[in-house]
Structure 1
Amino acid sequence: MTDLRDAAMTSKAWPFEEARRVLKRYEKAPPEKGYVLFETGYGPSGLPHIGTFGEVLRTTMVRRAFEVISDIPTKLISFSDDVDGMRKVPGNVPNRGMMAEHLQRPLTSVPDPFGTHESFGHHNNAMLRRFLDTFGFEYDFISATEFYASGQFDEILKLAVERYDDIMKVMLKSLRDERQQTYSIFLPIHPETGRVLYVPMKSVNSADHTITFDDEEGREWTLPVTGGHVKLQWKPDFGARWAALGVDFEMFGKDHSTNAPIYSRICEILGTKAPETYSYELFLDEHGQKISKSSGNGISIDEWLTYASTESLSYFMYAKPKTAKRMHFDVIPKAVDEYHQQLRAYADQDTAKRLANPVFHIHGHNVPASTMVVPFAMLLNLASVSGAEEKEKLWGFINRYAPDASPEKNPDLDQAAGFAIRYYNDFVKPTRQFRAATDQERAAMEELVVCLRDAEKALDVIARKNAQEGKDMPLPAVNWQDDEFLQSIVFAIGKTHGFDPLRAWFSGLYEVLLGASQGPRFGGFIALYGIDETVKLIEDGLAGRLIG
């Protein structure tokens, strides 16, 4: 453990860098509350999207890293700002007409359009918790509705009244002139309509911690700031929540970064040290637009898990959080294969490299071994050429390539085979475009067929390639199950037929035989699909039988 902690204290992996910043807060004394608090926030104005999940996952990674370098206990809170008034009806929910009648009411007072929960806010909170529970996160959930109404927030709200002028000075500097005239940090909840009101204050009374205001019809009201009668505007709410809970670390999207100093200053005015913060880049859809809860663009968590494992999604979230990422279906195969590459690498790495490996931050100290003996991208191509509708058909090919593999011994591979068939049918099959071979490609593919049928011809083309390159190399041993031997044949044919650049040869194979612009390492594909099957595939491609 000492060696691990020493290595973690110098690791450049971003979760350890953030964990060390948190630890520095308590280099003189441990936290009075007895633990270090990590927080994530969620605004349930729409269905939880994959970015919401990513925020909890990444915060959990920092929390795990902290637990490596410190013995101070930790907690993670997922906080839902469900008192927020519904400003617009989300575009991806049913019964939108009914919801329109409840604009500006707190989300936990808006009826659930799905008819499954007591409110829209409760529905979205339940969805968030289901997603988080799917991934086994350890967290405490807090609803702002309960936080305000139960009195847990009362002392900070009273302090906000007493220090109202100081907080207003911070806020007014950030507002346009016209907004300054009507702005207040307090948003009263109308006693009759239940709507969250954006109205100016006539008075803020520190003696009895009440606010006085006129509603939209000009009627005067006085309400206590405690007990859930008001809520704070979202920027003051951020800082006040930090102060009330004693938050030590929170991350948020880049769109919050300009407001972070405001959150921190309000937290300090309310008597608490502001937390360490981390700003990550936003998730984008396939068109480069920011993923939005209300529009429902991008991939949902359920959609990702329809086509790939939870671990592959965690891997995608770990990598380069400071870089904007496009969240669309094309990224899934790459994430799956890179995750398993890192698993295989982990087994032979020293401590420092393990701490920099994404799989450590996904699994902690219990990193599993990969049982994926065939890459996911290869399974997709196998599903394509074999027309497999059930994973059992893929296993027939897999066992030819890896006789010792089985669904029981290779659960990762078995799961991936099912995912590959689903992904192929939904995304690859509808977009396949086969074309005819050029004269150069036809001649090369015809020779490839000859070489796959005759070992002597195969060795001859390899020898010709070596001579062309001026290399005096021994010829490889003939092994029709060895993907390296098969790859050397494919490579040699591309060289001797004058493809320049050589990738044009491989592109031709993919486009003529697989109907795609990219594809697998072709020697490995032949070994997996089979010699006779590959020969027939090439003959069908050259005869034009794959087109249309």
Structure 2
Amino acid sequence: MTDEALISAARVSKAWPFQEAQKLLKRFPEGKPDGAPVIFETGYGPSGLPHIGTFQEVLRTTLVRRAYEVLTDGAPTRLIAFSDDMDGLRKVPDNIPNAELLAANLGKPLTRIADPFGRYESFAHHNNAMLREFLDRFGFEYEFVSASERYNAGAFDAALANVLRRYDAIMEIMLPTLREERRQTYSPVLPVSPKSGVVLQVPVEVVDAESGMIRFTDEGGSVIEQSIFGGQAKLQWKVDWAMRWVALGIDYEMCGKDLTDSVTQSGKIAKVLGGRKPEGMIYELFLDDKGEKISKSKGNGLTIEEWLTYGTEESLGFYLFREPKSAKQLHIGVIPKAVDEYWQFRGNLASQPIDKQLGNPVWHLLRANGDGKGAGDTLPVTFGLLLNLVGVLGAEATADQVWSYLGNYVSDASPEANPEVARLVEAALAYNRDFIAPTLVKRAPAPNEAAALAALDAELAQAGPATSAEDLQTAVYEIGKREEFGFESLRDWFKALYETLLGSSQGPRMGSFIALYGIPETRKLIAEALAANDHAQDAQDA
């Protein structure tokens, strides 16, 4: 496909990354002046451990960045991952060790509080490192910027002086948005106490904007004159955001729905500071399995490591790509479906026309940090089928056992020959051990179900070892259709198979499972179920 054809299709694509990138085309109809790069930004508040909600913003912004590069045939871009690590710690996160250490330092900048994990020079450095480690592992191209480093080095001093010059105009924007009580103490500038090191929420008086001098009352009641330069103060959130946009020349930044008001006010402040609000998208927030907003401090969301233990990087990207403006739950239970849907979309990609490709999440994901190769790839076994296999094998199942069964279903069944399947095997074993095995309970079949199982066993006894999964599936179907067994629908028959043989209310295509697990082994499962029916009948007769 020529670049012209791709660009033409991208310009009319309804896929959200292209729709977002179109905003930048309107912002710079002739391209950014002097060929300067369009600058994208993501923000991270390291007051708690990074979770997937943190990571998704970098991924989604990268997708818009790549879409813009397609639309402009390779115009230069940059992505800044900005950490708000100069913030004062407001509360102790629930999922952090040595909580007393953090409690003793409430209010201090996050980079000036010791690391409770004992690994880095500060709490913020620890959390920043965790974020960067995963972004690097995923292959993101970004520039990490620390607020503390910029403030402390004086890199923001000129921008801070500009805030002091425009102090009254900023107050006019902010005060009407605040409750009366908050108005009495509000200041765009938050000085750091020279005594306690705490970031203070106190009124300030501008003494001299050019030198950054302000006057305020410290915690002990002393009146202090102090420069805000060189890390001796930081800005209030909405002012800080606007200052950063102007100082760094940010052209695009997305954010969560909870920051809708901040976007409005920060945009007004950016204009007062002589800049321009960046383009952006407001996305919906992720919810936990109880429907509550996930929070770094609560630790009620998934960590990046948890998803990678029970799923794959690609499935994480796939789940985060879809429907960014709709609220979605983010918990362990969504992982298996995301894994299989990713590979389904990937397998379909190569045969799709270009307009459908541009709407396929995998098209964007393959280009986020690579060359786009991999379209049309498929796996010989689904994650769901692997989960059913290890569920039958039990909590103590091993990878070697799984691969021995895969030999029934996959040619050249080895981790070396099938590295993608090998990743899924490890994830399936972990998912089964921690979430499936503890909940599996096989029930005894009802009399009509037992009769149908006996019929299936008879069919399997006649089947050869090379019988295909499709032929096995047909045999299962035909038994479920027989009136003598009294199933109202095939769904009832399959549910009976899942609950009596696998211990779950849902399951795979049974033909595929039988081919994978093996006909003799499946017949043993049926024999166990029929024995359970006999025991239940004996107990009832007694």
TM over 0.5, yes or no? yes
Contact kept in structure 2, 1:383 and 1:421, CA below 8 Å? yes
Q: Distance in 2 between matches of 1:546 and 1:241?
A: 73
Contact kept in structure 2, 1:479 and 1:485, CA below 8 Å? no
Deviations 1:377-397 (A, max 9, x none): 101111122346222222222
Q: Using the TM superposition, give the Cα deviation of residue 453 of structure 1 relative to its aligned residue in structure 2, in angstroms.
A: 2.0
Is residue 194 of structure 1 aligned with residue 187 of structure 2? no
SS of 1:414's equivalent?
Answer: helix
Query: Which runs of structure 2 are paired with 1:370-409 in the superposition (5 Å)?
Result: 370-387=377-394, 389-409=397-417
> For residue 32 of structure 2, what is the aligned residue in structure 1?
30
Cα 1:434/1:29, change in 2 over 3 Å: closer
Contact kept in structure 2, 1:11 and 1:352, CA below 8 Å? yes
Cα 1:349/1:547, change in 2 over 3 Å: farther
Is residue 506 of structure 1 aligned with residue 494 of structure 2? yes
Q: Distance in 2 between matches of 1:334 and 1:513?
A: 22
Q: Distance in 2 between matches of 1:88 and 1:326?
A: 25
Q: Using the TM superposition, give the Cα deviation of residue 213 of structure 1 relative to its aligned residue in structure 2, in angstroms.
A: 1.0
Greater shift in the superposed pair: 391-400 or 373-382: 391-400
> For residue 57 of structure 2, what is the aligned residue in structure 1?
55
Q: Using the TM superposition, give the Cα deviation of residue 437 of structure 1 relative to its aligned residue in structure 2, in angstroms.
A: 0.8
Q: Using the TM superposition, give the Cα deviation of residue 547 of structure 1 relative to its aligned residue in structure 2, in angstroms.
A: 11
One-letter amino acid of the structure 2 residue matched with residue 41 of structure 1: G
Query: Which runs of structure 2 are paired with 1:436-475 in the superposition (5 Å)?
Result: 436-454=444-462
Deviations 1:327-386 (A, max 9, x none): 211111111111111111112122222221111111114232535200011011111223
Q: Using the TM superposition, give the Cα deviation of residue 136 of structure 1 relative to its aligned residue in structure 2, in angstroms.
A: 0.8
Contact kept in structure 1, 2:35 and 2:76, CA below 8 Å? no
> For residue 525 of structure 2, what is the aligned residue in structure 1?
537
> For residue 140 of structure 2, what is the aligned residue in structure 1?
137
Greater shift in the superposed pair: 286-295 or 373-382: 286-295
Q: Distance in 1 between matches of 2:85 and 2:107?
A: 12
Deviations 1:248-291 (A, max 9, x none): 11111111113211111111111111101111111121111211
Contact kept in structure 2, 1:161 and 1:204, CA below 8 Å? no
Q: Using the TM superposition, give the Cα deviation of residue 207 of structure 1 relative to its aligned residue in structure 2, in angstroms.
A: 5.6
> For residue 356 of structure 1, what is the aligned residue in structure 2?
359
> For residue 89 of structure 1, what is the aligned residue in structure 2?
92
Q: 2:75 aligns with which of 38, 62, 72?
A: 72
One-letter amino acid of the structure 2 residue matched with residue 516 of structure 1: S
TM-score (norm. length: structure 1)? 0.92
Deviations 1:420-467 (A, max 9, x none): 112111111001121111122112111111122236xxxxxxxxxxxx
Is residue 486 of structure 1 aligned with residue 493 of structure 2? no
SS of 1:173's equivalent?
Answer: helix
Contact kept in structure 2, 1:254 and 1:280, CA below 8 Å? yes
Q: 1:209 aligns with which of 212, 221, 228?
A: 212
Cα 1:420/1:207, change in 2 over 3 Å: closer
Q: 1:367 aligns with which of 353, 361, 373?
A: 373
Contact kept in structure 1, 2:347 and 2:378, CA below 8 Å? no
SS of 1:400's equivalent?
Answer: coil
Q: 1:3 aligns with which of 5, 10, 34?
A: 5
Q: Distance in 1 between matches of 2:243 and 2:534?
A: 64
Contact kept in structure 2, 1:90 and 1:294, CA below 8 Å? yes
Cα 1:104/1:540, change in 2 over 3 Å: same
SS of 2:240's equivalent?
Answer: helix
One-letter amino acid of the structure 1 residue matched with residue 213 of structure 2: T
Q: Using the TM superposition, give the Cα deviation of residue 31 of structure 1 relative to its aligned residue in structure 2, in angstroms.
A: 3.7
> For residue 511 of structure 2, what is the aligned residue in structure 1?
523
Q: Distance in 1 between matches of 2:462 and 2:108?
A: 76
Cα 1:480/1:440, change in 2 over 3 Å: farther
Deviations 1:450-494 (A, max 9, x none): 122236xxxxxxxxxxxxxxxxxxxxxx99532222112211221
Matched residue count:
526
Q: 1:282 aligns with which of 285, 304, 325?
A: 285
Q: Distance in 2 between matches of 1:382 and 1:119?
A: 45
Q: Distance in 1 between matches of 2:277 and 2:468?
A: 60
TM-score (norm. length: structure 2)? 0.93
Q: 1:429 aligns with which of 437, 449, 462?
A: 437
Is residue 236 of structure 1 aligned with residue 239 of structure 2? yes
Q: Using the TM superposition, give the Cα deviation of residue 125 of structure 1 relative to its aligned residue in structure 2, in angstroms.
A: 0.9
Contact kept in structure 2, 1:435 and 1:547, CA below 8 Å? no
Is residue 12 of structure 1 aligned with residue 14 of structure 2? yes
Q: Using the TM superposition, give the Cα deviation of residue 29 of structure 1 relative to its aligned residue in structure 2, in angstroms.
A: 4.4
Q: Using the TM superposition, give the Cα deviation of residue 209 of structure 1 relative to its aligned residue in structure 2, in angstroms.
A: 3.4
Q: Using the TM superposition, give the Cα deviation of residue 59 of structure 1 relative to its aligned residue in structure 2, in angstroms.
A: 0.7
Q: Distance in 1 between matches of 2:496 and 2:151?
A: 64
Q: Using the TM superposition, give the Cα deviation of residue 408 of structure 1 relative to its aligned residue in structure 2, in angstroms.
A: 3.0
One-letter amino acid of the structure 2 residue matched with residue 52 of structure 1: T
Cα 1:526/1:29, change in 2 over 3 Å: closer
Contact kept in structure 1, 2:161 and 2:210, CA below 8 Å? no
Q: 1:272 aligns with which of 271, 275, 278?
A: 275
Q: Distance in 1 between matches of 2:354 and 2:334?
A: 30
Q: Using the TM superposition, give the Cα deviation of residue 413 of structure 1 relative to its aligned residue in structure 2, in angstroms.
A: 1.0
- Percent of counterpart pairs with the same letter? 51
Q: Distance in 1 between matches of 2:523 and 2:465?
A: 17
Q: Distance in 1 between matches of 2:122 and 2:489?
A: 61
Q: 1:146 aligns with which of 144, 149, 170?
A: 149
Q: 1:46 aligns with which of 22, 25, 48?
A: 48
Q: Distance in 1 between matches of 2:403 and 2:82?
A: 45
Q: Distance in 2 between matches of 1:253 and 1:362?
A: 21
Q: Distance in 2 between matches of 1:303 and 1:123?
A: 18
Q: 1:101 aligns with which of 101, 104, 128?
A: 104
> For residue 468 of structure 1, what is the aligned residue in structure 2?
none
Q: Distance in 1 between matches of 2:332 and 2:94?
A: 21
One-letter amino acid of the structure 2 residue matched with residue 43 of structure 1: G
Q: Using the TM superposition, give the Cα deviation of residue 69 of structure 1 relative to its aligned residue in structure 2, in angstroms.
A: 1.0
Structure 1 unaligned segments of length 5 or more: list them: 456-477
Q: Distance in 2 between matches of 1:188 and 1:520?
A: 61
> For residue 459 of structure 1, what is the aligned residue in structure 2?
none
SS of 2:297's equivalent?
Answer: coil
Q: Using the TM superposition, give the Cα deviation of residue 61 of structure 1 relative to its aligned residue in structure 2, in angstroms.
A: 0.8
Q: Using the TM superposition, give the Cα deviation of residue 414 of structure 1 relative to its aligned residue in structure 2, in angstroms.
A: 1.8
Is residue 412 of structure 1 aligned with residue 415 of structure 2? no
Contact kept in structure 2, 1:264 and 1:274, CA below 8 Å? yes
Cα 1:276/1:93, change in 2 over 3 Å: same
Q: Distance in 2 between matches of 1:28 and 1:343?
A: 35
SS of 2:486's equivalent?
Answer: coil
One-letter amino acid of the structure 2 residue matched with residue 60 of structure 1: T
Greater shift in the superposed pair: 389-398 or 531-540: 389-398
One-letter amino acid of the structure 2 residue matched with residue 263 of structure 1: S
SS of 1:141's equivalent?
Answer: strand
Q: 1:115 aligns with which of 105, 108, 118?
A: 118
Q: Distance in 1 between matches of 2:215 and 2:11?
A: 53
